[in-house]
Amino acid sequence: MSEQTPDHGEAHGGGLGGRLNWLRAAVLGANDGVVSTAGLVVGVAGATGSPTTLLTAGLAGLLAGSMSMAAGEYVSVSTQRDAEKAALVQERRELATEPKAELIELTGLLKAKGLSTKLAREVAVQLTAHDALRAHAEVELGIDPDELTNPWHAAGASFLAFTVGALLPLLAIVLPPDGLRLPITVVSVLAALALCGWTSARLGSAPALPAILRNTGGGALAMIVTYVAGSALGASGV
């Protein structure tokens, strides 16, 4: 990320914008891992103080959550990739069968971007001579034919991000001695959520404080609700 242009990251084309999107997704994934695992272990801690039970619940939550995130990401990116591939196939066919219409179409798209008719025509002719499919993919479809997102990479990244986030509440509830489990978990979870909120606000050039308050507020609510539910179940002796 360039320090000189914090507000224009997305304007510099696929490279930096793509990296920012990945970073944003990673922060969101980690945030999910923190909140859902914190809610889970705090809820179980409301019912029982058994370290084995807490570890089992936390670990099951970590694995279930990270695999569900990975599977969801795999499906969604695969679908998008299939759609982009199909669009490229159709574009290639149109270029082969109706090159004249495609040249007129590209000229029109370039004119719509602000070029004069003469210049748009000239640019369209040169782009078509150089790499017609790439020109149509970028100008018309808005995709880089060489950089279609890999669904396995997306799934792996989601899995990793969620796991990193989930490890924090899991370790915080399992490692400390009995009386300190809950306070340490709550404090470290709120601190991590504040950091996630601050980071996503910075990445999106949004004000930091509202993002921090929303994020810690959501996490606090999740822990309160599950703790109350867990305590009620624990006290009822079911």
Residues of this chain that interact with Zn ion (CB under 5 A) are: 102, 136, 140
How far is 220 from 226, CA to CA, in rounded Å?
A: 10
Nearer to Zn ion among residue 110 and residue 166 (C-beta): 110
Contacts of 166 (CB under 8 A, 6+ apart): 33, 34, 36, 37, 58, 61, 62, 65, 66
Min dist CB 129 to Zn ion, Å, is 15
Nearer to Zn ion among residue 113 and residue 153 (C-beta): 113
Min dist CB 106 to Zn ion, Å, is 6
Contact 101, 136 (CB under 8 A): no
Nearer to Zn ion among residue 136 and residue 181 (C-beta): 136
Residue 75, Cα to own-chain centre: how many angstroms?
Answer: 14
Contact 165, 29 (CB under 8 A): yes
Min dist CB 73 to Zn ion, Å, is 30
Min dist CB 10 to Zn ion, Å, is 25
How far is 129 from 136, CA to CA, in rounded Å?
A: 12
Min dist CB 107 to Zn ion, Å, is 11
Nearer to Zn ion among residue 84 and residue 102 (C-beta): 102
Min dist CB 61 to Zn ion, Å, is 48
Which of 71, 78, 89 minimizes the C-alpha distance to 149?
A: 78
Contact 189, 59 (CB under 8 A): no
Nearer to Zn ion among residue 101 and residue 180 (C-beta): 101
Residue 176 is classified by DSSP as: S
User: What does R_g of the chain's alpha carbons equal in angstroms?
Assistant: 25
Structure tokens at 20: 């920012």
> Shortest Cβ contact with Zn ion: which residue?
136
Nearer to Zn ion among residue 27 and residue 137 (C-beta): 137
